[in-house]
Amino acid sequence: AQSVTQLGSHVSVSEGALVLLRCNYSSSVPPYLFWYVQYPNQGLQLLLKYTTGATLVKGINGFEAEFKKSETSFHLTKPSAHMSDAAEYFCAVNPSGNTPLVFGKGTRLSVIA
Amino acid sequence: GAVVSQHPSWVICKSGTSVKIECRSLDFQATTMFWYRQFPKQSLMLMATSNEGSKATYEQGVEKDKFLINHASLTLSTLTVTSAHPEDSSFYICSAGDSRNQPQHFGDGTRLSIL
């Protein structure tokens, strides 16, 4: 069975500071990994994905994540936080398009001016 | 890119009525669609997997007679909340995918409020 653990339900950073949102997964097969962002009362927007190939994945809005198989991690980072980054972030895993995503519990990012 | 349209985005109705939510894949054929429910400040909870032309597979604890799912075509799945009650109030989100379509794409969600 697959599972996702997001460490920290709430992360607060100052504007311009580094953003680091942690995600660890367990999977019996090579996983596809995703990060989604959700703004209030909206659906999920894909930030980035890892399927195969390069382990450092760049996404939208300046976010990137690195797949580390040895650590079973897929942490999300952004060098400099912006006020508009304040939202809920979900890490997810699934083996194929025909299976449902397994989500972490989410991390709420607050950005302080 | 692939787009999933969900309608309506917000619905308010009286207790006892039935509400239908539509999920459409706009530019690809979705052999599988998923329905999730999200409570405030919580993650998404999978309710059911909807396969075109066959019965939906419900997760444990989800009442299939309460949440009717129909996937009659490769581009449309519907979720009907029957005889809705206030405890059914929630944010419902659909996603669609096929064997080639990574990642799964999400609709914008439907906020259901039962008075």
Q: Tens digits of per-residue pLDDT, A19-71?
A: 999 999 987 777 889 999 999 878 899 999 998 888 999 999 999 999 999 99
Among residues A42, A44, A29, A9, the alpha carbon closest in space to that of A93 is found at A29
Q: Which of A99-108, B84-93, B95-104 has the lowest mean pLDDT?
A: B95-104
For residues B112 and B89, is the Cβ–Cβ distance under 8 A? yes
Inter-chain residue contact A97 with B6, CB threshold 8 Å = no
pLDDT value at residue A109: 97
From the CA atom positions of chain A, what is the Rg in Å?
13
pLDDT value at residue A7: 93
Q: What is the DSSP letter of A108?
A: E
Phi-psi sector, B15: left (phi>0), alpha (psi -120 to 50), beta: beta
Residue B101 predicted with pLDDT over 60: no
pLDDT in tens, B73-99: 889 999 999 999 999 999 999 998 766
Q: Which of B51, B104, B110 to mutate to test the interface with A (most CBs of A within 10 A)?
A: B104
Among residues B103, B114, B95, B110, the alpha carbon closest in space to that of B38 is found at B110
**Partner-chain residue, chosen from B91, B100, B108, that has the shortest CB–CB distance to A97:** B100
C-alpha B98/C-alpha A25 separation (Å) is: 23
